[in-house]
Structure 1
Amino acid sequence: MAQLVEVTQRMELSDKELNDARANLSKAQRELKEQWVTVHEVCVALAAGRPYLRKVNRTYVRLIVPVPGYRATLG
Structure 2
Amino acid sequence: ADALFVMVIGGGFDQKIYGYGNREVDNEMSFTEIVDIFSANNPKSDADSYEVMRKIIGDDKWAKRNAND
Does TM, scored on the shorter chain, surpass 0.5?
Answer: no
> What TM-score bracket applies, with the shorter chain setting the length?
under 0.3
Which entry has the higher C-alpha Rg, 1 or 2?
Answer: 1
- TM-score norm. by structure 1 comes to 0.26
